[in-house]
């Protein structure tokens, strides 16, 4: 009887150890982000902050065209466009390429900057162009 108990306990220990050591099988991308099944790929909101981390956009809401993949935003008169922080709100599980790691120079209005949205399943990529205009 005691031997049976001993063997059962040993078996349980082994099973527990095996379960605890098994590797999760969820796929992640090169950034360590979860790859999901979502194929949606769009920008839902856009914001631009100045060096004081306050918005530099005017009262006009940015116009985001998810078909043409464009963003049109108007900044306040006198905005220092060489030192701004763009903020993109994306659909669930999507990510942005290139990543925004600090201040960005948006001062070259003739050559708008582009950012690519990558869907949650990492299969769909859409490149958005950000057009900035200055309040007059």
Partner 1 sequence: MRSKYFQYTSWLMALLLLMASCKEEPYAVPVPKDALQNDCIKRSLGPNIVGNNIEFAYAMALPGDKGKLVSAQVEASIAGAATTYLEHRSYYTDGSGVDVGVEVATPSTNQGNVTTVNFSKDTNAVTLRYFYTIPEEARGKTISFKFSARSSNGETVNYSMGPYTIARMDIALDIPVMDAANCFISIEDMKAYDAVDAAAHAANIDLVYLYRAMPNVAFNHSLVSPGTKSEYLPGVVLPPGVNKVTKISKAWALRDNNLARDKYGIYIDDIDFQQLDIANAPDYAINLKEEAGAWIETADGKYRAYIYINKVNNGAQSAVISMKRYTMK
How many residues line the site for partner 1 (CB under 8 A)?
Answer: 15
Task: Report the SS3 class of residue 14.
Answer: helix
**Could you tell me which stretch among 3-11, 14-22, 47-55, 112-120 binds partner 1 (CB under 8 A)?**
47-55
The residues near 1 (Cβ < 8 Å, ≥ 6 apart) are none
C-alpha span between 75 and 94 (Å, rounded) = 26
**Could you tell me which stretch among 10-18, 38-46, 80-88, 109-117 binds partner 1 (CB under 8 A)?**
80-88
Nearest to 71 by CA among 10, 128, 14, 21: 128
Among 24, 25, 30, 52, indicate the residue that binds partner 1 (CB under 8 A). Answer: 52
Q: Does 101 bind partner 1 (CB under 8 A)?
A: no
Q: Which is nearer to partner 1, 4 or 53 (CB)?
A: 53
Q: Which is nearer to partner 1, 29 or 105 (CB)?
A: 105
* Cβ–Cβ under 8 Å, residues 113 and 103: no
Could you tell me the two tokens for 97?
A: 């390429």
Residues at the interface with partner 1 (CB under 8 A): 50-54, 76-78, 80, 82-83, 103, 105, 135-136
């Amino acid at each position: 009887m005691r031997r049976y108990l001993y063997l059962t306990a040993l078996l349980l220990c082994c099973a527990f150890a095996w379960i605890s050591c098994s590797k999760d099988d969820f796929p992640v991308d090169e950034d360590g982000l979860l790859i999901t099944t979502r194929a949606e790929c769009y920008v839902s909101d856009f914001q631009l902050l100045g060096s004081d981390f306050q918005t530099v956009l005017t009262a006009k809401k940015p116009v985001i065209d998810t078909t043409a993949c464009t963003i049109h935003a108007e900044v306040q008169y006198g905005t220092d466009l060489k030192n701004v922080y763009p903020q993109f709100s994306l659909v669930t599980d999507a990510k942005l390429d290139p990543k925004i790691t600090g201040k960005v120079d948006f001062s070259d209005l003739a050559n708008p900057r582009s950012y690519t949205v990558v869907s949650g399943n990492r299969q769909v990529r859409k490149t958005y162009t950000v057009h900035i205009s200055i309040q007059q």
